[in-house]
């Protein structure tokens, strides 16, 4: 007997197929969360423009970063909070990671602010429209009563047209049934 192909190997569970190869929808790549930026004075997370990160990764900002990027520590017992950032070398370059974190935090905050503003504007507009509609109901000069009456007349006319069509179609069916009955009676009379 010939030896089996998978002899001696553990059997693998069958893989689930997803149909045709090209039909899979791919989700867009996720952006990694930004690392937390810690204060060099007290090792607490800096609230980068009131945006906190929830990742375990962190980087320390230097005195230069804090001075040049105007980052402030919110911890009231920190030396940088009390005395301000001193001893920062203005000639050194800024850490690009810290700069990127601050830029991302600003963009994230601005996007949230814009979204909130947009939502408020939409809700205001919706309330305004509702008030207009409510006011128009009771305003004798708004013309809503006339408009409602006109729409009612149009609906009534459409309904009358529909009933006329139905009556005509029933008359045609009745005539056809009478012709068929007459034809059957004549055919039965000729057969006798």
pLDDT tens, 140-158? 666 777 788 889 999 999 9
pLDDT digits (tens, 9 = 90+) for 110-146: 888 899 999 999 999 999 999 888 877 777 666 777 7
Helix (H) or strand (E) holding 60: strand 58-60
Spatial CB neighbours of 43, under 8 Å, sequence gap ≥ 6? 60
pLDDT digits (tens, 9 = 90+) for 95-108: 888 888 878 878 88
| pLDDT greater than 90 at residue 163 | yes
Q: Which of 72, 30, 31, 34 is nearest to 54 (CA)?
A: 34
Query: In this structure, what token pair is assigned to residue 149?
Result: 């009456």
pLDDT in the model for residue 132: 84
**What is the reported pTM?**
0.41
Tokens 């009390």 sit on residue = 82
Q: Is 142 exposed, middle or buried (0-12, 13-18, 19+ CB in 10 A)?
A: middle
Contact in structure between 40 and 65 (CB atoms under 8 Å): no
Residue 33's φ and ψ, nearest 5 degrees, are -65, 150
pLDDT in the model for residue 154: 95
């Amino acid at each position: 007997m010939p030896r089996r192909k998978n002899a001696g190997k553990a059997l693998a569970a069958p893989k689930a197929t997803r149909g045709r190869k090209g039909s899979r929808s791919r989700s867009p790549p996720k952006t990694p969360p930004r690392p937390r930026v810690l204060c060099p004075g007290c090792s607490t997370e800096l609230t980068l423009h009131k945006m906190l990160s929830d990742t375990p990764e962190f980087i320390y900002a230097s005195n230069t970063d804090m001075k040049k990027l105007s980052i402030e520590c919110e911890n009231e017992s920190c030396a940088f909070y009390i005395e301000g950032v001193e001893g920062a070398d203005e000639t050194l370059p800024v850490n690009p990671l810290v700069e990127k974190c601050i830029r991302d935090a600003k963009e994230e905050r601005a996007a949230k602010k814009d979204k909130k503003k947009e939502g408020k504007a939409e809700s205001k507009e919706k309330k305004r429209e509702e008030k207009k509609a409510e006011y128009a109901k009771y305003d004798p000069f708004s013309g809503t009563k006339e408009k409602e009456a006109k729409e009612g007349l149009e609906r009534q006319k459409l309904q009358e047209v529909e009933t006329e069509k139905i009556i005509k179609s029933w008359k045609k069916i009745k005539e056809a049934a009478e012709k068929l009955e007459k034809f059957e009676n004549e055919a039965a009379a000729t057969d006798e």
